[in-house]
Amino acid sequence: MMDKSWIFIKNRALSQYLNGVEQFLNFAFSNPNVGVRIQCPCIRCNNVLWKTREEVKTDLLRRGIDSTYDRWIYHGESDSSSDDGTNVGTDSDIGNDDASTFEMLHDLYRGIPTHSHEFDKNSESSSEEPTTEAKIFYRLLKDAEQKLYPDCEKFSKLSFVMRLFQMKCLHGWSNTSFDSLLKLLSDVLPKGNMLPNSIYEVQKIIKGLGLDYVKIDACVNNCILYRKEYADLEQCPKCGEKRWMVRKGEHTDEEVASENSNKRNKGISRKILRYFPIIPRLQQLFMTKRTAEDMRWHKNKKVDDGVLRHPADSLAWKNFDEKYP
């Protein structure tokens, strides 16, 4: 049983506190998935910033550890039970949005320094510009560090935008209704809030998280997708429906085609499929250490006892594994 009583000690010069810090660091860095940095649990960083062992030790000695963080879920301890047997139901135990957001950013953009000044310090030339990927990361990091409004302790700009966008997707809100909600929330929140004004601004933020999609024109009757051999067609070869909308006062597709037969008429598609490519989605699932473990469960932790409880227990799955080992 791990002794965590030291986290409540106010005098950080006591040997019990110093030994507790070393115990924590040894435990955190014993995790084989940990690199050179971990989330710093001091009262200022609050498991948001990632630092080296010496930096974390310095912060814990100078500022002290967050005493509510008595289940070390960000440092290798199981989030289902604590080693000291205590049962705590605080927000810190289950994790907060900001800490989860920072963890996600570091998983998505591995290898990029946490702050732009670290890039300048580590680069061969002080005049070297960060890569496009690094610029996106720093912009997202800034949004993750920026409070939703002055004195807001629950959400950062990025974590709140992500929560709102998740609700939009889950409940099927239209873009128009989402814009209206953003305007209402902007009026309700205190002055100086950083809430985006429109779905367009939200999508620009979300795009940096790798949640982008590919738009593919589709037949209004779902016959075909206008891609590959159908990419240049102006109407569906199966049902004959037109691909583009025609507004009042505009020429029809035939009139436009006759006027400029050598130039494709790119109007407003009557129906659009938004496709999330599978490869980036799988890559993101394996980037995050927690979901990566779940993705490998069927191979590493599945119990083969003859009971069909998961698709991996089916004959089709087993035949596929035999055919493609």
**Over the stretch 87-112, which tens digit does the pLDDT of each residue have?**
333 333 333 555 566 666 666 555 55
Beta carbons of 52 and 37 less than 8 angstroms apart: yes
In this prediction, residue 90 carries a pLDDT of 38
Q: What pLDDT score was predicted for residue 251?
A: 52
- How many CB atoms lie under 10 A from the CB of residue 181? 15
Q: Verify that 21 and 44 share a domain, yes or no.
A: yes
Domain assignment present for residue 115? The answer is: no
State the pLDDT at residue 289. Answer: 66
In-domain check, residue 100: no
Q: For residue 33, what is the enclosing H or E element?
A: none
Domain boundary among 180, 207, 234: 207
Whether 135 is in a domain gets the answer yes
Number of domains in the chain: 4
**Same domain (yes/no): 149, 198:** yes
Q: Which helix (H) or strand (E) holds 122?
A: helix 116-122
151 phi-psi bin (left φ>0, alpha ψ -120 to 50, beta other): left
Find out whether 19 and 6 touch, Cβ atoms under 8 Å. Answer: yes
| pLDDT score, position 98 | 57
Low-confidence ranges of the chain (pLDDT < 50): 81-95, 115-127, 253-265
Any idea what the Cα angle at residue 89 is, between residues 87 and 93, rounded to 5°? 95
Among residues 75, 77, 73, 121, the alpha carbon closest in space to that of 96 is found at 73
Tokens of 312: 């991996």
- Domain range for residue 288? 278-323
Residue 28 backbone phi and psi in degrees, to 5: -65, -40
Whether residues 226 and 269 fall in one domain: yes
